[in-house]
Structure 1
């Protein structure tokens, strides 16, 4: 059973765990208890193997295509986590014998996974076993494991087989050529292999050390080299009450790593082997301390504190922040964040609009350096976006719906079986879910507003905004009857509506993209630089500017209806048939509607997979009045099934905006429960990174009321009744702030002094923070 109360004392609300073993739920725990550091991610598989497991290790950016008919995906790296354990000749396995005690915990504070088992075999012999594991935040290449095995009732022969297993696949797809295998000093193993298509070399090492009652013991292991697999097997006689400790330290390096560029494969093996020899001398304990120290420093900078009736809320926000850290490639700006992070094979490691709309905001306000990595990733993939535009008959840059390393489109063409026809479903998102292009531009602009990073804009940001605007200018088509430009045949955020015309979200965001490009052009015209002149000439921006103006002035923007202020989601949504959605609104699993209707049928029903117009009202909040937001909430919310994990958080934020904090709080709980909740099948393919980012947005943007319309920081808190106070750190334009909120007051402290004066709005009143100043504002009065 999933537990939230296993942390005691200083670890209260820092630990998630389970208190019983159930093989049916392995995937849930593998995903939510994953370890990582942004460079690598390792699913929390048990040391002993089960047929139901999904044993994954991923390294960011190492994309490969396993065959001509496949799309590129993150390959499953050779596994180091499995241990074969024999106790008196009997293989240890929790589906045999008797489990007397069981617990497994993930300590979010130190990022250590810990499992304790007291197990009695069929002959009545009792063993206590403790398994510990971490992925280092101090050294991105490093993973540590430790097994402590104690015979309790009688002496026992204990055998442990450990190695590197390159037989792992991505659901059957093999991404590596046969590897080179080496054993050094009967302690160290090396496994080196290259991806089959992208030719990325990956070298994995592991080092073993054995101790009995804390004294290192010599051992003569049995050596084994098989196809794609190499291992050592150790056997010990252990007295009752003695503890055999088995430590395994591993590292992973790739030819894609910045520090290994231009290195030959042999040199890569040599350098990484030398590193592990040095690191392994420290032992598990010291290496864990190094990593835990890095985590403590991380938490000191970003911990959010919630005081209230439900302690789960404090744990939930820490769980979200933990996963945001381990999914983010802080080491390299060439890589994006996958829809499942590095915790599972779902969506093949590809990046979506999740990054800009749901994940990047967290880093904008807590780690601007990582936020810069994310916008620079989109710059590195700009040429791929240009290629996609050209291939589809457009100009400028058309960003892919699913992005990997190059920015070329990598969305699969076919999906699940159609419940009516029995044939595979065509996936249209890669061709016509095009709002991603303006989402990328929006992310760039939000980064600029939050950081004031002019160098990035001069060298990269303006180019993205202007090339995406040029795409939209070429994408628009003229409707002579309406006397306006339209965007026809798209999918909006509501993916239950395919091949629609004038999706409101898409049109408004395209209009925003054009207007922002126009504003940037006009700003740069008044302060020309050599860099701007080069960009203007290279992209023919004088001509593009005229086109942007013409198209922006005449683009069709669906307006609120006079009768009820509802904005048409697209040209036909409001005319589609209505059905009773109660069954699907109360569902325990997502997408149950697709078991009763196929996509063509769902396309003809007024039902939304996820927030669509709602996202528009949130992102472009200054475009719409409070009354329009309320009217659209009342119309679309009952028709939204939240069949995407992206949806709950957006609705929670809007509920806060509309003065319904208790509904917002309930939706926050539902969003937090997508991965951390008790649905034991929700995370089998990996955690939901957009929802994880959305949890933080619910807290800071929703309940904390933080926004930055037009580039000025605004704080308009709406705490739920369940919370007494909320405290969080916030970066704004280079300065670090600390925000403390109660139901009665807001305190803002400026902890750094990068800007002499910081202007902000609190509860509708404007203030200025000078130097390292603190300000307290009584809510609803605006008094200092």
Structure 2
């Protein structure tokens, strides 16, 4: 990988083994459509995979696995809009692989959202043709895709044939382990050729019956030559146009292809094919489409960029410059998955983006890592994405009733209508065996939804959302947890037969997973439940009296049920066991301490990569449930989501003493037992270490930035980006290293930049104000942009300021490398201290006198 500045992802040379990865990393999208960066002359094979996906475009098919019929819902690969190939004289149309590439450069301009490809091809007869391409998926008009190709014959003259069209003969084939399953989601297309020069295709999803239409307009400028012939074909599997042009060596001809895509779920449309044909005719030209598209991206970057400067060599440290580029690449793909065009669509945000077929495009818990960036930048997106959950509240209630529970039980994987989409079996590629998939037991997904509602409310103070959607969502999730908790003889409550985020453990060793599956008292799940049930009262208190009464009457919530919420929130079990150092640490689940220690050293000698240790052990006939191993952070998710004060508040409420020393030891204990089998794991661990070991935190942050670009999981990125990890790395810079937190309507800062970072600049929205944040190793400056908005409170280490639009405050930072282990008494004393009078212009607070 190369780079041009900090805005261009560039690849020199063509590498067939890396093509799938590059197709994903250079994919283009606008929140409605995402299109992989496959070559225009490529078909699906083991090198290339053209794929274009519609946000929320799902369809279900039944496959036979052994003697079972398995129904899966997939994100559908749409008809391929890219095809454009050439031939010389009477030769065949050249496809990828039919010619020699003399050079190849591919570059993605992140600031403009434009992909360029430049190469020289030599055919079997030795004729060399230069191909220079620009491509976009419009961020201005979510229905438009376009590409421009400049073709130059270098050592030959003759007839150049150009064939461009829309290919309807596509299937879902992008994930190797899914290929044995049914993947033909599109009906035979209807193709048309209009007298206005437009060729079009219309098809329909097999089960969901969603209709999709694509229309193409082709323009060829022969640069002094002339067009010899034109022909349009409406074939059984696609619609194409062919043009023959007389060319002269050294003279360049230009080809532009404009495509419009509509579907039957779009707003304000009469019929998809009619709309596609009309829209493609309205686009003036490629340059006009590019100008509007790049302007839209420029406006997005004004809101969403994060800038970091290295502490070495004035920002020219090579690895850190790379970190800036990777950070922007992550923001870029976030905005291609969820953009302003997503707001009115009934879609969630998938962990692999709309970039490929991994996880079948389903919605999972990764929104927990994704929403913080969106909420503090474009909260309207988070609001829309939370409504995806609220619209599926009825299905979650139905699932809870069928399980014998109250409230709403959200599925681990959600798709079109909110039913559980987790597949019942999954393939272990190491052993070749299909195994039961028990990840549906990860009921903590509901707590994540409630957490996201609360965080959105804290950042925006959007009481209308709380009244109309959020409170109902939150309370129904709380009711589910209340009904799931079982009281023991000692008065404590337990939650049984669930799974935590770890995923390597889905039950106890030696037990039948079907009859006795799941784990008891997963610490992360129970902590989240205690937090949800504690906050349920706060949610009710935030509602106006009339709204609260009406909601409680509608849901049938009375004082007795609220009292049960309170009782459970004070008496849930959090299991502990003793670590080898003799310190009591939080147990991942009840019984974790009794599991076998794992031979990490021995396995590292035998296997180059232990990330998917579960697959390795299963292929050896061993059970991951028997060992103290984790795929990713489980207990440590508590430290990722909550501040130390919040953790102590919940544990105090539950009656557990928990010291700073135990936090440090619990962190160390689980870090020694994790395989980082999920890209989310690097993010979580980097965050948890940020206050105690900033060098280690930054190393893990760089690993997280490399997760997709370096394809650290050995081939999974080509199936779709890891959006949760991408968002998490951005949030590390946005919130973790700036120390941003939201406490009682105040935006709190406590920056602790890694030594490798000299300066960090970001922008956040907090309760209708836009705040520019500038952090160095010595100072924190918060400036509010001029606008009409009420003052908000900001604070740094107990020094609170009320900031109004147009004001700016600078704080001198405490320079101390000791862990953040201050006793609560010191926190309370500092919070009670009287602050100096509020300044009326930019001021500098001498906060640095107080050591930690």
Distance of 1:581 and 1:759 partners within structure 2: 49
Q: Which residue of 1 aligns with 2:282?
A: 278
Contact 1:330 1:373 in 2 (8 A): no
Contact 1:329 1:335 in 2 (8 A): no
Contact 1:62 1:256 in 2 (8 A): no
Contact 2:617 2:623 in 1 (8 A): no
Q: Secondary structure in 1 aligned to 2:72?
A: coil
Q: Kindly state the Cα deviation for residue 770 of structure 1 after the two structures are TM-superposed.
A: 3.4
Q: Which residue of 2 aligns with 1:204?
A: 214
Q: Which residue of 2 aligns with 1:389?
A: 400
Q: Secondary structure in 1 aligned to 2:811?
A: strand
Distance of 2:442 and 2:255 partners within structure 1: 51
Contact 1:147 1:247 in 2 (8 A): yes
Give deviations 1:185-224, integer Å, cap 9, x for gaps: 27311111121211111111111110122x7965642333
Contact 1:351 1:402 in 2 (8 A): yes
Question: In the alignment, does 2:729 pair up with 1:685?
Answer: no
Question: In the alignment, does 2:551 pair up with 1:535?
Answer: yes
Question: In the alignment, does 2:445 pair up with 1:436?
Answer: yes
Q: Which residue of 2 aligns with 1:514?
A: 533
Give deviations 1:219-239, integer Å, cap 9, x for gaps: 642333332322122222211
Distance of 1:297 and 1:333 partners within structure 2: 21
Give deviations 1:300-328, integer Å, cap 9, x for gaps: 12211111122011101110110010011
2:110 is aligned, of 101, 108, 111, to 108
Q: Which residue of 1 aligns with 2:494?
A: 486
Distance of 2:604 and 2:388 partners within structure 1: 38
Q: Kindly state the Cα deviation for residue 339 of structure 1 after the two structures are TM-superposed.
A: 1.6
Superposition map of 1:158-173 within 5 A = 158-171=160-173, 173=183
Q: Which residue of 2 aligns with 1:24?
A: 17
Contact 2:127 2:156 in 1 (8 A): yes
Does the C-alpha gap of structure 1 residues 561 and 770 become closer, same or farther in structure 2, counting only changes over 3 Å?
Answer: farther
Contact 2:51 2:78 in 1 (8 A): yes
Q: Name whichever of 611-620 and 664-673 sits farther off.
A: 611-620
Q: Which residue of 1 aligns with 2:635?
A: 613
2:792 is aligned, of 733, 755, 758, to 758
Q: Kindly state the Cα deviation for residue 374 of structure 1 after the two structures are TM-superposed.
A: 1.4
Q: Secondary structure in 2 aligned to 1:65?
A: strand
Q: Which residue of 2 aligns with 1:59?
A: 54
Superposition map of 1:549-588 within 5 A = 549-558=566-575, 563-582=582-601, 583=603, 587-588=608-609
Superposition map of 1:226-245 within 5 A = 226-245=235-254
Q: Which residue of 2 aligns with 1:653?
A: 687
Does the C-alpha gap of structure 1 residues 593 and 485 become closer, same or farther in structure 2, counting only changes over 3 Å?
Answer: closer
Q: Secondary structure in 1 aligned to 2:589?
A: coil
Q: Kindly state the Cα deviation for residue 533 of structure 1 after the two structures are TM-superposed.
A: 2.6
Q: Kindly state the Cα deviation for residue 109 of structure 1 after the two structures are TM-superposed.
A: 0.7
Contact 1:584 1:592 in 2 (8 A): no
Q: Secondary structure in 2 aligned to 1:66?
A: strand
Q: Secondary structure in 1 aligned to 2:633?
A: coil
Q: Kindly state the Cα deviation for residue 750 of structure 1 after the two structures are TM-superposed.
A: 1.0
Q: Which residue of 2 aligns with 1:269?
A: 273
Question: In the alignment, does 2:352 pair up with 1:351?
Answer: no
Q: Kindly state the Cα deviation for residue 746 of structure 1 after the two structures are TM-superposed.
A: 0.6
Give deviations 1:24-48, integer Å, cap 9, x for gaps: 2221011111000000000110112
Distance of 1:424 and 1:158 partners within structure 2: 50
Give deviations 1:556-592, integer Å, cap 9, x for gaps: 2335769414101101111111122244599557315
Q: Kindly state the Cα deviation for residue 520 of structure 1 after the two structures are TM-superposed.
A: 2.2
Q: Kindly state the Cα deviation for residue 387 of structure 1 after the two structures are TM-superposed.
A: 1.5
Contact 1:329 1:337 in 2 (8 A): no
Contact 1:387 1:408 in 2 (8 A): no
Contact 2:35 2:52 in 1 (8 A): yes
2:336 is aligned, of 326, 329, 342, to 326
Q: Kindly state the Cα deviation for residue 555 of structure 1 after the two structures are TM-superposed.
A: 2.0
Distance of 1:90 and 1:178 partners within structure 2: 26
Q: Kindly state the Cα deviation for residue 657 of structure 1 after the two structures are TM-superposed.
A: 2.4
Unaligned runs of 5+ in 2: 63-68, 174-181, 311-316, 507-517, 649-658, 816-844, 848-852
Q: Which residue of 1 aligns with 2:390?
A: 379
Distance of 1:704 and 1:618 partners within structure 2: 15
Distance of 1:539 and 1:546 partners within structure 2: 16
TM-score by length of 2: 0.86
Distance of 1:189 and 1:25 partners within structure 2: 33
Contact 2:227 2:246 in 1 (8 A): no
Contact 1:560 1:566 in 2 (8 A): yes
Q: Kindly state the Cα deviation for residue 492 of structure 1 after the two structures are TM-superposed.
A: 0.1
Distance of 1:575 and 1:754 partners within structure 2: 59
Contact 2:537 2:562 in 1 (8 A): yes
Give deviations 1:696-719, integer Å, cap 9, x for gaps: 111122222212244431211121
Question: In the alignment, does 2:696 pair up with 1:663?
Answer: yes
Question: In the alignment, does 2:201 pair up with 1:191?
Answer: yes
Q: Secondary structure in 2 aligned to 1:259?
A: coil
Does the C-alpha gap of structure 1 residues 693 and 274 become closer, same or farther in structure 2, counting only changes over 3 Å?
Answer: same
Unaligned runs of 5+ in 1: none
Question: In the alignment, does 2:348 pair up with 1:314?
Answer: no
Does the C-alpha gap of structure 1 residues 108 and 441 become closer, same or farther in structure 2, counting only changes over 3 Å?
Answer: same
Give deviations 1:81-131, integer Å, cap 9, x for gaps: 122321342543554544322100111011111000022233332211112
Distance of 1:635 and 1:592 partners within structure 2: 18
Distance of 2:473 and 2:434 partners within structure 1: 36
Q: Which residue of 2 aligns with 1:294?
A: 296
Distance of 1:340 and 1:649 partners within structure 2: 16
Distance of 2:25 and 2:449 partners within structure 1: 28
The alignment covers a number of residue pairs equal to 761
Give deviations 1:456-479, integer Å, cap 9, x for gaps: 000000001100000001111222
Superposition map of 1:213-252 within 5 A = 213=223, 220-252=229-261
Question: In the alignment, does 2:363 pair up with 1:339?
Answer: no
1:595 is aligned, of 599, 616, 619, to 616
Does the C-alpha gap of structure 1 residues 720 and 397 become closer, same or farther in structure 2, counting only changes over 3 Å?
Answer: same
Question: In the alignment, does 2:199 pair up with 1:182?
Answer: no
Q: Name whichever of 645-654 and 546-555 sits farther off.
A: 546-555
Distance of 1:403 and 1:754 partners within structure 2: 39
Q: Which residue of 2 aligns with 1:43?
A: 36
Give deviations 1:283-303, integer Å, cap 9, x for gaps: 111111110011011111221
Q: Which residue of 2 aligns with 1:706?
A: 740
Q: Which residue of 1 aligns with 2:84?
A: 83
Let me know the Cα RMSD of the aligned residues.
Answer: 2.1
Contact 1:317 1:696 in 2 (8 A): yes
Q: Name whichever of 92-101 and 470-479 sits farther off.
A: 92-101
Distance of 1:37 and 1:203 partners within structure 2: 18
Q: Secondary structure in 2 aligned to 1:441?
A: helix
Q: Which residue of 2 aligns with 1:69?
A: 70
TM-score by length of 1: 0.93
Contact 1:210 1:217 in 2 (8 A): no
Contact 2:107 2:116 in 1 (8 A): yes
Contact 1:65 1:73 in 2 (8 A): yes
Q: Kindly state the Cα deviation for residue 395 of structure 1 after the two structures are TM-superposed.
A: 1.0
Distance of 2:161 and 2:404 partners within structure 1: 63
